[in-house]
Chain A
Amino acid sequence: MNYVGKACLTGCLQPVGAIVKRGAMTLAATLSVMTLGTVGMSAANAAGTIAGTDILNTAQASYDGPGGPVVIDSNTVTITVDELLDVTVASADPGDIAVDSGATQQVTTYQVTNTGNGNEAFTLTADTAKGGDDFDTSNAVIYLDTDDNGVFDPGVDTIYSPGSNDPVLAPDASVNVFILSDIPVSATDGQRAEVELSAVAITGSGTPGTSFAGQGDGGGDAVVGSTGADGEASSFFLIQAAQVALAKSATVTDQFGGNQPVPGATITYQLVATITGSGSLTNLNITDDIPTDTTYTAESITLEGANLTDSDADADAGSFDGSEIAVSLGTVPGGQTRTITFQVTID
């Protein structure tokens, strides 16, 4: 009789190679507070004097003339402040975003800020084909954070379409931008992908100092500032996968002090779950059927050497439902093992 039963993993939809669902959404959610804070601080004008402002200069002299004190004004010199074209882009993702291979519509988050001194519209471009990374994402779509909460909201935030809804930003104002793209199935654990967003001033960009006559906000010229009126920043995806391997062994102790699998002998089964990979497995459950022609020894489940009860109603991880034992391991990171034992007697 073969008493080495079949171990299985249930309760986890994708037990082998199951992935941490730590998506970009969650990361973006924690970020939203910071992002909102930044947007709110638009009072100070770091961009400089607003484009179109007239600088008027008049000197004044006073003296005592023959008829008493005299005050005279000079001519007034008027100079108009041109529009300075400047933009910065920053990634709002604090670090690599953990994703699963094959995951679709994964979000990276950026902030585009008009650091110029006039109202300016910007063209946005996503680049998923950057060199120097391990794989490229596909089907990139840019969204604008319509409700300005720093978090991508499907159905709320609008798709960006170049030339039709280019964001127009006041001096020092920012807009949050999301790129949604798909992770290829072929990407493997530990691989990274760079996703870049660039923003270019529509009036013009290029070498700092380049001037666009008469095109400035406020009626003057538009002049390319130190940023080249072209900014870009990257976020990164990191594949964090984990897999579990289950090894089962059995030790027989008979009632005569020997190791013979005779009726009445006790079999101690040991299940060792080994988790590998850079990610974690969530909601990892391990179950094992009690083999036919054996009887489960009540309250015999252990996890890492500690006893678990048979009840499913209590808080501990173990249970026995009359036909199989089950142990809920929760989230287990790669590189760890979990050892479960239970006993049966041969009928």
Chain B
Amino acid sequence: MKINLLKRLAMLAALAIPGITPGVAMAANNVALSSDVFVERKIENADGQTAVMLEEPKTVIPGDNLVFVVKYKNVGSTPATDFSVTNPLPKAVAFNGTSDGTEIVSVDGGKNWGPLSALTYTRANGEVRPALMSDVTHIKWKFNRSLSVGSEGKLVFRGTVK
């Protein structure tokens, strides 16, 4: 299932990178950024096995598993230093992890950042407990090196419709 999914993502990425339209990247900027959201749909094959397909949905239902793909590319003529990508999580989505685990997250609307295991969550009654995936409000990737001209990549994270 996972292999299948990754393959799909690879295919989508291959298809989609040329598709980053100049319209997405504003003229003044030299980095293009695009967001795509896919939903996992389970499809039963003729042989009875269940395959997971990724679709670009117009609509979803609570419980659906979503795959968020953020693609970036330096389309300018100078390196972009101190490059980072942030994705605020839509309210109706519960965070379900990233594919590479290199992200840092926030559970308080972007005030404090860190690996999930290093964060705590303060409940309405003041009680403090270790932060959970379901507490995540923002996801951020910080790049330690500058994004050289022409370099590109994609960041993938998963979420579940609440």
Establish whether residues B161 and A63, one from each chain, have CB atoms under 8 Å apart when the complex forms.
no
Q: Could you say which of A56, A63, A69 contacts B147, with CB atoms under 8 Å apart?
A: A63
User: How many angstroms between the C-alpha atoms of A216 and B37 in the bound complex?
Assistant: 22
Establish whether residues B35 and A77, one from each chain, have CB atoms under 8 Å apart when the complex forms.
yes
Count of residues in A whose CB is under 8 Å from the partner chain: 36
Establish whether residues A48 and B62, one from each chain, have CB atoms under 8 Å apart when the complex forms.
yes
User: How many angstroms between the C-alpha atoms of A81 and B84 in the bound complex?
Assistant: 30
Please name all residues of chain B whose beta carbon is closer than 8 Å to the beta carbon of A58 when the two chains form the complex.
35, 87-88
* With contact pairs A63-B81, A63-B82 given, residues A82 and B60 touching in the complex (Cβ less than 8 Å): yes
Interface of A is mostly: strand
Establish whether residues B29 and A79, one from each chain, have CB atoms under 8 Å apart when the complex forms.
no
Chain B 35-53 interface mask (CB, 8 Å, partner A; 1/0): 1110100000000000000
A76 within 8 Å of B (CB atoms): yes
Establish whether residues A72 and B37, one from each chain, have CB atoms under 8 Å apart when the complex forms.
no
Query: Which residues of chain B (3-40) have a CB below 8 Å from chain A?
Result: 24-26, 28-31, 33-37, 39
Establish whether residues B61 and A59, one from each chain, have CB atoms under 8 Å apart when the complex forms.
no
Query: Which residues of chain A (71-86) have a CB below 8 Å from chain B?
Result: 72-77, 79-84
User: How many angstroms between the C-alpha atoms of A247 and B31 in the bound complex?
Assistant: 104
Query: Which residues of chain A (258-277) have a CB below 8 Å from chain B?
Result: none
Establish whether residues B60 and A65, one from each chain, have CB atoms under 8 Å apart when the complex forms.
no
Establish whether residues B78 and A79, one from each chain, have CB atoms under 8 Å apart when the complex forms.
no
Establish whether residues B86 and A76, one from each chain, have CB atoms under 8 Å apart when the complex forms.
no
A62 within 8 Å of B (CB atoms): yes
* With contact pairs A49-B161, A66-B78, A72-B33 given, residues A84 and B85 touching in the complex (Cβ less than 8 Å): no
Please name all residues of chain B whose beta carbon is closer than 8 Å to the beta carbon of A55 when the two chains form the complex.
37, 60, 90, 92-93, 161
Q: Could you say which of B26, B28, B81, B93 contacts A64, with CB atoms under 8 Å apart?
A: B81
Establish whether residues B90 and A64, one from each chain, have CB atoms under 8 Å apart when the complex forms.
no
Please name all residues of chain B whose beta carbon is closer than 8 Å to the beta carbon of A49 when the two chains form the complex.
62, 92, 161-162
Q: Distance (Å) between the CB of B105 and the closest chain A CB? A: 14
User: How many angstroms between the C-alpha atoms of A53 and B88 in the bound complex?
Assistant: 17
B111 within 8 Å of A (CB atoms): no
Q: Distance (Å) between the CB of B110 and the closest chain A CB? A: 10
Closest to B71 in A: A74
User: How many angstroms between the C-alpha atoms of A81 and B57 in the bound complex?
Assistant: 10
Establish whether residues A48 and B78, one from each chain, have CB atoms under 8 Å apart when the complex forms.
no
Please name all residues of chain B whose beta carbon is closer than 8 Å to the beta carbon of A2 when the two chains form the complex.
none
Chain A 77-118 interface mask (CB, 8 Å, partner B; 1/0): 101111110000000000000000000000000000000010
B123 within 8 Å of A (CB atoms): no
A186 within 8 Å of B (CB atoms): no
Closest to B29 in A: A72
B2 within 8 Å of A (CB atoms): no
Establish whether residues B81 and A74, one from each chain, have CB atoms under 8 Å apart when the complex forms.
no
Establish whether residues A57 and B37, one from each chain, have CB atoms under 8 Å apart when the complex forms.
yes
B144 within 8 Å of A (CB atoms): no
Establish whether residues B31 and A61, one from each chain, have CB atoms under 8 Å apart when the complex forms.
yes
B97 within 8 Å of A (CB atoms): no
* With contact pairs A58-B88, A63-B84, A81-B92 given, residues A74 and B70 touching in the complex (Cβ less than 8 Å): yes
Establish whether residues A57 and B31, one from each chain, have CB atoms under 8 Å apart when the complex forms.
no
User: How many angstroms between the C-alpha atoms of A270 and B68 in the bound complex?
Assistant: 89
Establish whether residues B80 and A64, one from each chain, have CB atoms under 8 Å apart when the complex forms.
yes
Please name all residues of chain B whose beta carbon is closer than 8 Å to the beta carbon of A70 when the two chains form the complex.
28-29, 31, 80
27 contacts between A and B (CB under 8 A): A49-B92, A53-B92, A55-B37, A55-B60, A55-B161, A58-B35, A58-B88, A60-B33, A60-B87, A61-B83, A61-B84, A61-B85, A63-B80, A63-B147, A65-B29, A72-B26, A72-B31, A74-B24, A75-B35, A77-B37, A79-B37, A79-B39, A79-B60, A79-B66, A82-B59, A83-B61, A225-B61
Known A57-B68, A57-B93, A75-B34; 18 more pairs at CB < 8 Å:
A57-B87, A57-B90, A58-B88, A60-B33, A60-B86, A61-B85, A62-B82, A65-B29, A65-B30, A66-B78, A70-B31, A76-B35, A79-B57, A79-B60, A81-B92, A117-B61, A117-B62, A220-B58
